[in-house]
């Protein structure tokens, strides 16, 4: 089985590609034996066994056995736990936001960077399912994607495409709430008018939409493109006779938005205040998104908890779990534990991580317990609840028969601060072993590993940012700057000697400026 070190130890590009291809070609069969299994689907199992075949869990229990030829990972001192599920993140892309306000036709798969250190860190943290969505600086953003943090190509990382569209109920930078609300309403109005025009043109015998679709490169002979159907969904507005329009003639810039209105693509609506929550619910009711939308809350949006609870809308919370404000009369600082406030109202919520292994989902759940939230609810908020929000509840979030073989082997209880992820199994393949983690070894032992030093040009710009060599710190050691091939050293600036009057180290121009002053 390929080790984590082999994947990230500075191999050549060709070797790296070959390594990932080999790892992904595993048979997805493994038997895991541990001292304790936390299934998230019932009581814990002491001395439990998890059998995984073809990437799926086939058995979970105390007295289970796999086939004789399956690899066994036996760790009696460790705890098995389902992989954490990140319900929403905008990391792992070359940029989180686009300049286009309404861009449902974009797809984050074109922006995801498989070799981003973010994915490496998430694997190290045990966050095995990640919902990558566009950032909040939009009116309607691109289509999201659920991935696992392992693979050299998007196809290898893919868990579910088209996981949702981002909608911004919070104003974009430099915009007011009024202009954001108007832009959001107009986006759906433009969709409605586009569909109405398609129907009218078809009745009038005009063929512009078909010619435009062919110009855009769509295959109009495909069954899904050449046939029409009535408009689906629960929007308050419906366009009559839409079934006469072949679906392939819908403008590709509008088609993802239409699918969202028809309930085929989920929506993730960013809200930074209680006012934004009201706007979000208005848009949801008008366009039939009540059953498919999830609110992404920030700021004081939690103050609309009663409204959220009344409409039974699930929410994803900001990584900042405590909201701090001052009493306008007394000036006293008031702290509100947001998950607790929403839990009292019966709102179902998922947690977001800070985006690194040190402040991952485990820490968010542990913080919730420290503030008094029920332990099981805290664990559910980083496993089962986000899995359900992503329509992946039948695949991830717990260790049960038939689900994906995504298992973490922890050194202790998942909410204990000293607990570390020792092994990660993804779909039955061992993809992470902490004992062979190059970066962890560097931090633990303080010894720089081969091929992990910064480039010479980086050292030139900031010598204090890197260790020169093994003789750094020794008496009479001279720092030598190594240049990249083809790079020229900048000539040193000669400073005049100190003349005894405080003028040492100043250039002639500086001295002249002093005289002029």
**236 and 257 assigned to the same domain:** yes
The tens digit of pLDDT for each residue in 319-364 reads 999 999 999 899 899 999 999 999 999 999 999 998 776 789 999 9
Whether 255 maps to a domain, the answer reads yes
Lowest pLDDT segment from 126-135, 192-201, 362-371, 448-457 = 448-457
Q: Is residue 235 part of a domain?
A: yes
Is there a domain that residue 393 lies in?
Answer: no
Same domain, 431 and 462: no
- The span from the CA of 30 to the CA of 118, in Å, is 27
* Residue 363: CA count within 13 A, CB half-sphere: 15
Tens digits of residue pLDDT in 236-248? 999 999 999 999 9
**Nearest residue to 319 via CA among 290, 357, 355:** 355
Average pLDDT over residues 259-263: 95
Q: Is residue 191 part of a domain?
A: yes
Rounded distance, CA 78 to CA 40, Å? Answer: 16
Residues 58 and 27 in one domain: yes
Please state, in angstroms and rounded to a whole number, the distance separating the CA atoms of residues 77 and 168.
46
Q: Are residues 182 and 231 in the same domain?
A: yes
| Phi-psi region at 286: left, alpha or beta (left = phi > 0; alpha = psi -120 to 50) | alpha
> Is residue 139 predicted with pLDDT exceeding 70?
yes
The total of structural domains in the chain comes to 3
Query: DSSP string spanning 148-197?
Result: -S--SSHHHHEEEEEEEEEEE-SPPTT--HHHHHHHHHHHHHHHHHHHHH
- CB of 202 within 8 A of CB of 245? yes
Do 465 and 437 reside in the same domain of the chain?
no
Across 266-297, b (16+ Cβ under 10 Å) vs e yields bbbbbbbbbbbbebbbebbeebbbeebbbbbb
User: How far apart are alpha carbons 473 and 187 in whole angstroms?
Assistant: 62
Least confident of 42-51, 423-432, 461-470: 461-470
Identify the pLDDT of residue 251: 92
Q: With the C-alpha atoms ordered 136, 141, 142, 143, is the resulting torsion angle positive or negative?
A: positive
Average pLDDT over residues 258-287: 96
Mean pLDDT of 172-184: 93
The secondary structure of 41-60, three-state, reads CCCCEECCEEEEECCEEEEE
Task: Give residue 41's domain range.
Answer: 4-83+413-445
CA distance 407 to 414: 13
Cβ neighbours, 10 Å, residue 139: 25
The answer to whether residue 14 is domain-embedded is yes
3-class secondary-structure state, position 123? helix
pTM of the full structure: 0.81
User: Does 370 map to a domain?
Assistant: no
274-278, 336-340, 441-445: range with lowest mean pLDDT: 441-445
Residue 466: predicted pLDDT? 52
Give the chain's mean pLDDT. Answer: 85
Q: What is the pLDDT of residue 357?
A: 67
More confident residue, 5 or 507: 507
What number is the average pLDDT over the span 176-194? 96
Average pLDDT in the 33-47 region?
A: 96
Residue 266, SS3?
Answer: coil
pLDDT of residue 290: 96
Q: Which residue has the higher pLDDT, 301 or 461?
A: 301
How far is residue 50's CA from residue 30's CA, in Å, rounded to a whole number?
Answer: 8
Phi and psi at 82, nearest 5°, equal -65, 150
pLDDT tens-place string over residues 376-414: 999 999 999 999 999 999 999 999 999 999 999 999 999
Domain-ending residue, one of 233, 261, 289: 261
| pLDDT of res. 311 | 96
The answer to whether position 105 is within a domain reads no
CA distance 92 to 95: 8
Residue finishing a domain among 261, 296, 315: 261
Helices (H) and strands (E) in the chain, counts: 17, 18
Q: Are strands 421-426 and 315-317 parallel, antiparallel or unpaired?
A: unpaired
Q: Bigger pLDDT: 306 or 13?
A: 306
Model pLDDT, residue 268 = 97
| Cα–Cα distance, 254 to 473 (Å, whole number) | 62
The pLDDT-based confidence of 256 (bands split at 50, 70, 90) is very high
- pLDDT tens digits for 7-37? 334 333 433 333 333 344 458 999 999 999 9
- Between CA 169 and CA 180 the distance in angstroms is 7
213 and 189, same domain (yes or no): yes
Choice between 476 and 206, residue whose per-residue pLDDT is larger:
206
* Mean pLDDT computed over 445-473: 60
**Sign of the C-alpha dihedral computed for residues 287, 290, 292 and 296 taken in this order:** positive
Rounded distance between C-alpha atoms, residue 90 and residue 316, angstroms: 13
- Has residue 75 been placed in a domain? yes
Provide the b/e sequence for 170-209 (b: ≥16 CB within 10 Å): bbbeebeeeebbebbbebbeebbebbebbbebbeeeeeeb
Mean per-residue pLDDT, 419-428? 96
**Phi-psi label, residue 127: left if phi above 0, alpha if psi -120 to 50, beta otherwise:** beta
Residue 6 — pLDDT band, cuts 50, 70, 90?
very low
Let me know whether 467 and 438 are in one domain. no
pLDDT of residue 88: 96
């Amino acid at each position: 089985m390929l080790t984590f070190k082999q994947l990230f130890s500075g191999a050549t590009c060709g070797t790296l590609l070959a390594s990932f291809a080999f790892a992904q070609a595993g048979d997805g069969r493994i038997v895991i034996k541990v001292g304790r299994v936390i299934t998230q689907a019932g009581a814990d199992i002491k001395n439990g066994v998890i059998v995984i075949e073809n990437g799926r869990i086939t058995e979970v229990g105390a007295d289970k056995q796999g086939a004789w030829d399956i690899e066994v990972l036996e760790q009696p001192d460790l705890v098995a736990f389902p992989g954490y599920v990140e319900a929403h993140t905008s990391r792992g892309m070359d940029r989180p936001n686009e300049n286009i306000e309404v861009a449902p036709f974009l797809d984050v798969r074109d922006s995801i960077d498989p070799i981003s250190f973010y994915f490496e860190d998430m694997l190290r943290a045990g966050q095995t399912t990640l919902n990558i969505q566009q950032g909040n600086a939009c009116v309607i953003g691109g289509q999201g994607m659920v991935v696992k943090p392992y693979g050299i190509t998007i196809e290898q990382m893919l868990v579910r495409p088209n996981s949702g569209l981002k909608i911004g109920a919070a104003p974009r930078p430099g915009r007011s709430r009024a202009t954001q609300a108007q832009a959001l309403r107009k986006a759906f109005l433009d969709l409605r008018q586009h569909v109405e025009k398609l129907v009218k043109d078809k009745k009038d015998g005009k063929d512009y939409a078909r010619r435009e679709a062919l110009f855009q490169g769509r295959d109009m002979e495909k069954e899904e493109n050449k046939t029409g159907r009535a408009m689906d969904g629960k929007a308050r507005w419906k366009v009559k006779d839409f079934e006469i329009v072949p679906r392939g003639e819908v403008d590709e810039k509008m088609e993802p938005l239409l699918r969202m209105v028809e309930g085929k693509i989920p929506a993730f609506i960013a809200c930074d205040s209680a006012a934004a929550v009201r706007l979000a619910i208005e848009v949801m009711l008008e366009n039939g998104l009540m059953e498919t939308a999830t609110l992404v809350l920030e700021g004081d949006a939690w103050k609309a908890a009663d409204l959220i609870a009344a409409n039974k809308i699930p929410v994803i919370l900001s990584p900042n779990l405590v909201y701090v404000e001052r009493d306008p009369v007394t000036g006293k600082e008031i702290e509100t534990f947001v998950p607790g406030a929403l839990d009292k109202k019966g709102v179902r919520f998922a947690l977001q991580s800070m985006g690194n292994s040190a402040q991952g989902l485990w820490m968010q759940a542990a913080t919730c317990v420290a503030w008094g939230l029920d332990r099981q609810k805290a664990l559910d908020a980083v496993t089962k609840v986000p899995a359900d929000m992503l329509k992946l509840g039948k695949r991830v979030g717990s260790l049960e028969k038939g689900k994906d073989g995504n298992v973490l082997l922890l050194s202790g209880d998942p909410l204990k601060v000293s607990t570390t992820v020792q092994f990660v199994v993804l779909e039955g393949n061992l993809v992470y072993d902490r004992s062979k983690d190059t970066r962890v070894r560097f931090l633990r032992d303080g010894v720089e590993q081969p091929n992990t030093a910064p480039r010479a040009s980086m050292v030139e710009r900031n010598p204090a940012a890197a260790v020169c060599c093994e003789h750094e710190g020794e008496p009479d050691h001279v720092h030598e700057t190594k240049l990249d091939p083809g790079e020229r050293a900048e000539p040193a600036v000669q400073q005049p000697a100190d003349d005894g009057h405080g003028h040492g180290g100043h250039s002639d121009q500086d001295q002249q400026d002093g005289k002029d002053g």
